[in-house]
Amino acid sequence: MALFASLTLGLTPFYPEPHIVGKIRWVLGGAIGMKPMDYFDLILHGIPWLALIYYSYIFIIDKIKQDEYSRHSKRR
């Protein structure tokens, strides 16, 4: 779900560039002229990406722990 949300809600509107990309460029350029609504928009379009990063991290850590457990249990 996080991947689907990132690719749809996190990138809309797609043309001329993804909205989140424009907001990040604006912030990296000094955020001159940004209003509270622009920051809210950045957060709104960024949440799916943060969720994707978080769940990917949890998935990877879980896989590492499972591999560690299986290697440890084979030694016995």
Identity at 21, one-letter amino acid code:
V
Q: Whole-prediction pTM value?
A: 0.73
pLDDT at 75: 62
pLDDT digits (tens, 9 = 90+) for 13-68: 888 888 889 999 999 999 899 999 999 999 999 999 999 999 999 999 999 988 88
Nearest-10 Cα torsion for 32, 36, 37, 41: 80
pLDDT at 19: 84
pLDDT at 67: 83
Distance CA 14, CA 76 (A): 54
pLDDT at 74: 67
